[in-house]
Amino acid sequence: MTFLSRIMLLKSQAHFSADVHRAGASMNGTFKGTGKRKTEMARKRVGLMIAGFAVAYAIIGGRLVQYGYAHPETVSSILPADRLMASRPDIVDRNGEVLATDIRTVSLFAEPNKIVDADEAVEKLATVLTDLDIKGTYKKLSNPQSHFQWLRRQLTPKQQSQILALGIPGIGFRPEKRRFYPGGTTASHIVGYVNIDNRGMSGMEKYIDNQGMADLRALGMTSDTPLEPVKLSIDLRVQNILHDVVSEAITKFEALGAGGVVLDVHTGEVLAMVSMPDFDPNNPAASAQEGWLNRMSNGTFEMGSTFKSFTLAMGLDEGKVSLNSTVDARYPIRIGGFTIKDFHGKNRVLSVPEIFQYSSNIGTAKIADMVGTDAHKEFLKRLGLTTRMKTELPEVAMPSQPREWKKINSITISFGHGVSTTPLQTAVAGVALVNGGKLLPPTFLPRTQEEADQVAEQVIQPSTSKDMRFLFEWNGVKGSGRNARVDGFNVGGKTGTADKVVNGRYVGDKNFNAFLSAFPIDNPRYVVLTVIDEPKTDKGNGAALAGTSAAPMVAEIIRRSAAILGVEPKFGEDGSALLVSY
């Protein structure tokens, strides 16, 4: 019964109401019964209508669920639109220079069920996207059961306008954000990179995600609102200098790889770090896999004679020797079928400074023997050289050492053979040798002196640290560190030239050269470590020795960056560089 019919009925009932009353009690009862039945019928009709709507909505809901399961491609295989537009925080250096930022872009998708002619669509798209996978794209577009397919992520504005002009039905654009790295390769191993979905894959980008960014994104709790920048400890100016120097060394020495790091000895901040080969984080896939390896923190190497610094520090700290002690280095050491001899032996008794200056394997081994194997192992662990380094950077390798330390192991490890560690760990341990004996976990984030004091661990005596500064200076003036000297800055350090192991054997034509240094050595502020992996030693360019390959790199880094780092040179009245007086 329609709404209008019900109104007409009510009017008729009103006209006959008087007659009904006159008809008597029986008639009145009959009317009342008829009214009740009509009311019940109206209620039933309303109930049926409600039930009908409920069934209809249930069917629609069920079909939507069925549609979602039957056609999973109707939903982005990557992320919903709101998450695709979610912001990542900018990454900046200690001075606010941008290292990584988001830029807006669009991605191309298709709804194959709306494509009229797949052949024509592919043909038109290929005129703009010249590298389009013709066969793969046609396969995507020719599936009428598919409702969503990505065709190309992160288009340029020009590509978008050109595709729009083609007027292809079933083709659309989805807003996204793309990560942009203004410096390209300059700090690639520190900053890292993100994948196509703007998720951190390495470096500090991955660190940011590990701090909760990825979890928030998964829960849909991120937004397009700009986030507070993440400031790093890196100084982009020093990073650029280090990058140039390492790049020049690779070219000059035709090396397999090279790297360097600059550390603040009072805070443990990493001011710059470079590993080469590297990659462009704007297009990481274009680099060979070799370029992704961060040799400084994720590669382990036998560090050669730089380890003699730690052995002598151990002997001094344990009280087994002093700077005035002497050690008989006249005869080779024979142990376990091996002969330990000096590269340029003096064949005489050497003082402790001379052992350091001449890089005597014999003298160093005898000092390690004085300390003992167990104490030697514990000392290296205390300096963090045999355990996994703790820092923000995710790419950190675990050092290797003998399963069981025997006397022969202790002797060879004393001069840098038998333990492999990362160059960054070596530099961090070097910081403790010159800063008064405090081991500071390296950080890629800004750290104040007060914060550094809270995490610092006293690993050697201040007096030992003072003695090591003297030895570094001694070697810088009289030993293998001469090529690292820069007038006015009192650079001291220790070289390391290590034969590499190939198929279980040491080979003489493949070296890993390193130079561990600090400046100004009378009151150190920075440690600089450089490494060169497999320089070509037959070119007559000094690549065979760390003193003529890695040490000059340190000199160039300090010469160009000291002023930026706030270190003033010291000269005498005659204009000559002042030497340290101990």
Which CATH number characterizes residue 108's domain?
3.90.1310.10
Residue owning tokens 């709790």: 221
* Per-residue model confidence as pLDDT tens digits over 463-494: 999 999 999 999 999 999 999 999 999 999 99
> What percentage of the chain exceeds 90 in pLDDT?
63
Cis link prior to 520 (omega < 30° from 0)?
A: yes
* Per-residue model confidence as pLDDT tens digits over 491-549: 999 999 999 988 888 888 899 999 999 999 999 999 999 999 999 987 777 788 999 99
In the chain, DSSP finds a helix count (H) and a strand count (E) of: 21, 16
Within-domain flag for 465: yes
* Per-residue model confidence as pLDDT tens digits over 345-396: 899 999 999 999 999 999 999 999 999 999 999 999 999 999 999 999 999 9
pLDDT for 306 beyond 90 = yes
Within-domain flag for 397: yes
Q: Identify whether the C-beta of residue 443 lies closer than 8 Å to the C-beta of residue 391.
A: yes
* Per-residue model confidence as pLDDT tens digits over 1-19: 433 343 344 344 444 444 4
CATH code for the domain in which residue 535 is found: 3.40.710.10
Within-domain flag for 151: yes
Boundary (domain end) residue, out of 161, 180, 199: 180
Within-domain flag for 396: yes
Boundary (domain end) residue, out of 143, 160, 180: 180
Within-domain flag for 578: no
Of the residues 305, 359, 480, 561, only one is catalytic, namely 305
Residue 271: strand, helix, or coil: strand
Regarding whether 434 and 368 lie in a shared domain, the answer is: yes
SS3 breakdown of the chain: % helix, strand, coil, rounded to 5?
45, 20, 35
From residue 80, give the alpha-carbon distance in Å to each of 61, 108, 109, 174, 469.
21, 15, 13, 10, 58
Regarding whether 153 and 270 lie in a shared domain, the answer is: no
pLDDT for 398 beyond 70 = yes
Regarding whether 380 and 507 lie in a shared domain, the answer is: yes
Boundary (domain end) residue, out of 180, 206, 224: 180
Given pLDDT bands bounded at 50, 70 and 90, which one contains residue 37? low
Within-domain flag for 487: yes
Within-domain flag for 537: yes
Active site residue 305: yes
Regarding whether 246 and 158 lie in a shared domain, the answer is: no
Amino acid identity, position 255:
A
Encode 179-228 in three state secondary structure.
Answer: EECCCCCCCHHHHCCECCCCCECCHHHHHHHHHHHHHHHHCCCCCCCCCC
Regarding whether 434 and 319 lie in a shared domain, the answer is: yes
In 250-322, which ranges are E strands?
257-264, 270-276
Regarding whether 349 and 458 lie in a shared domain, the answer is: yes
Regarding whether 500 and 411 lie in a shared domain, the answer is: yes
Regarding whether 253 and 148 lie in a shared domain, the answer is: no
- d(C-alpha 465, C-alpha 460), whole Å: 7
Regarding whether 344 and 258 lie in a shared domain, the answer is: yes
Q: Identify whether the C-beta of residue 174 lies closer than 8 Å to the C-beta of residue 79.
A: no
pLDDT for 168 beyond 70 = yes
Given pLDDT bands bounded at 50, 70 and 90, which one contains residue 104? confident
- The pLDDT, as a whole number, for residue 145 is 85
Regarding whether 397 and 301 lie in a shared domain, the answer is: yes
Question: How many domains does one find in the chain?
Answer: 2
* Per-residue model confidence as pLDDT tens digits over 263-281: 999 999 999 999 999 999 9
Regarding whether 262 and 148 lie in a shared domain, the answer is: no
What is 484-520 written as a DSSP string? G--TTT--EEEEEEEEEEETTEEEEEEEEEEEEEEES
Domain holding 398, by residue range, is 238-565
Report the predicted TM-score, pTM, of the whole model to 2 decimal places: 0.79
Within-domain flag for 220: no
- The pLDDT, as a whole number, for residue 290 is 78
Given pLDDT bands bounded at 50, 70 and 90, which one contains residue 59? low
Given pLDDT bands bounded at 50, 70 and 90, which one contains residue 61? low
* Per-residue model confidence as pLDDT tens digits over 421-478: 999 999 999 999 999 999 999 999 999 999 999 999 999 999 999 999 999 999 999 9
Regarding whether 246 and 107 lie in a shared domain, the answer is: no
